[in-house]
Amino acid sequence: MTSLSSGSAPSSDALSPRTLWLMAIACGACVANFCYNQPLLGAFAVYFNATAAQVGWVAMASQIGYGLGLLFFLPLGDIVERRKLILTLIYLCAVTLVGTAFAPSLSLLIVGNFLIGMTCMGAQILIPIAVEMSPANEQGRTVGVMMTGLLGGILLARTLAGFVGDHFGWRAMFGLAAVMMVVLASLLRTRLPHRPPTVTMRYRDLMVSLWQVLKSQPRLWRPSIIGALSFGSFTAFWTSLSFLMAEHFHRGSTETGLFGVVGLVGALAAPYSGKLADKKGAAFTVTLALTVILAAFGVMWLWLTIPGLILGVLLMDVGVQTVQVAEQGKVLSLMPEARSRINTLYMVSRFVGGALGSLVGALAWSHSGWPGVCVAALGMNALALVIHFVAKRREISGFVAAGQGV
């Protein structure tokens, strides 16, 4: 463990553009490990002579692992030295990737993907560090750059895994991912500064304090619910897209994965979303973003063509990304001494929304096809917009009452 903290980390806390973009790329590379299995499920079924339902547990295991990693590992960022924590998780992830690449059975492949999900948490520890190292008037832009890397990793992971799996086999993808993790850790060791813990407490007390933080921060609820709903519509889309492409357009997984490249264009809007949040405020930015997501699903419902889907994906990714940037930037400013725990609560809620969105998308498709998926996604974002407006009105009323001495 000591060796992980060695290396020539910079002594200055100033966040240079080079370091910021390295951290953003690291975010994408870490979270991509969670997504590689999605386009490879068919290859798993053929290799292990398994049914679709059986290999579906591979994707489910990584989701469960990711959720547990968020809950149990992310809060550690408040009580341990975070540079060491990030490097430890990245090395552990590399080990699990190597083990998964050599999995001799489907059951061990499932276990491997569960462990990959648990250990690919470096991205969510890097984001609060980047915010801390940024001036207050640039924190929105910083979150935007980090989210560009994060969402870019999620979107490109599907395309990369599909290509590597088709040409070199599924084991090669996990092996390549392990190599990328080792290279990434080597780069981060030279660029990341040491980040001492912000509080002193035992791990058990830290986990108990999550509930205390949640109770003490009522302003955390609204961003968490809105983030969960918007991300839920995002996962509902991706869950049902492969069915739509196969049944309506008669296209395969390769073409489906290429929409990840289309979505990457939307991810590039994140820094501008952060600047907008810094300039106009989170409330205005979230209102605009939710409206854009509503427009995206309207386009994909009413103009069901490949160009219509491309336009819809661009709008959807810009909107979802902007909601994430604005809301996460806001919640990370609530308790500077507990940023990792705040981020844990926000991201767990977002993950729950994403998991439920996947379920809703699958159920909507099975009952009503593509129109059902679009109606469900529109409903999620309409509800988010209502919650946003109601909460904003209450905040305004509270300010007015306070000003009148009520």
Q: Judge if 156 and 237 occupy the same domain.
A: no
Domain boundary among 197, 232, 260: 197
Q: Judge if 314 and 174 occupy the same domain.
A: no
Does the residue 272 lie in any domain?
Answer: yes
Does the residue 8 lie in any domain?
Answer: no
Tens of pLDDT, residue by residue, the chain (406 residues): 333 333 444 444 567 778 888 889 999 999 999 888 877 777 787 899 887 567 767 777 887 788 888 888 877 877 788 888 899 999 999 999 999 999 999 999 999 999 999 999 888 788 878 877 777 777 777 877 887 888 788 878 888 887 888 889 899 999 999 999 999 999 988 888 777 776 677 878 878 887 877 777 777 788 889 988 998 898 788 777 777 877 788 776 677 777 777 777 766 776 677 677 777 777 888 888 899 999 999 999 999 898 999 999 889 988 888 887 777 777 766 776 677 777 778 888 887 787 778 778 778 887 888 999 999 999 999 999 998 888 777 665 543 444 444 3
Does the residue 92 lie in any domain?
Answer: yes
For the chain, the domain total comes to 2
Q: Judge if 82 and 128 occupy the same domain.
A: yes
Q: Could you give the CA distance from residue 196 to residue 100 in angstroms, rounded to a whole number?
A: 33
- C-beta separation of 290 from 324 below 8 A: no
Residue type, 241: L
Q: Judge if 353 and 382 occupy the same domain.
A: yes
Q: Could you give the CA distance from residue 378 to residue 7 in angstroms, rounded to a whole number?
A: 50
Q: Judge if 192 and 223 occupy the same domain.
A: no
Question: According to the model, what pLDDT value does residue 1 have?
Answer: 35
Q: Judge if 241 and 360 occupy the same domain.
A: yes
Domain harbouring 377, CATH code: 1.20.1250.20
Q: Judge if 255 and 184 occupy the same domain.
A: no
Question: According to the model, what pLDDT value does residue 10 have?
Answer: 43
Q: Judge if 330 and 380 occupy the same domain.
A: yes
Q: Judge if 242 and 161 occupy the same domain.
A: no
Does the residue 283 lie in any domain?
Answer: yes
Does the residue 406 lie in any domain?
Answer: no
Does the residue 118 lie in any domain?
Answer: yes
Domain boundary among 134, 163, 197: 197
Domain boundary among 137, 163, 197: 197
Does the residue 207 lie in any domain?
Answer: no
Q: Could you give the CA distance from residue 57 to residue 118 in angstroms, rounded to a whole number?
A: 15
Q: Could you give the CA distance from residue 277 to residue 329 in angstroms, rounded to a whole number?
A: 9
Question: According to the model, what pLDDT value does residue 406 have?
Answer: 38
Does the residue 3 lie in any domain?
Answer: no
Q: Judge if 232 and 367 occupy the same domain.
A: yes
Q: Judge if 193 and 221 occupy the same domain.
A: no
Question: According to the model, what pLDDT value does residue 229 have?
Answer: 93
Q: Judge if 226 and 188 occupy the same domain.
A: no
> What is the span of the domain harbouring residue 21?
15-197
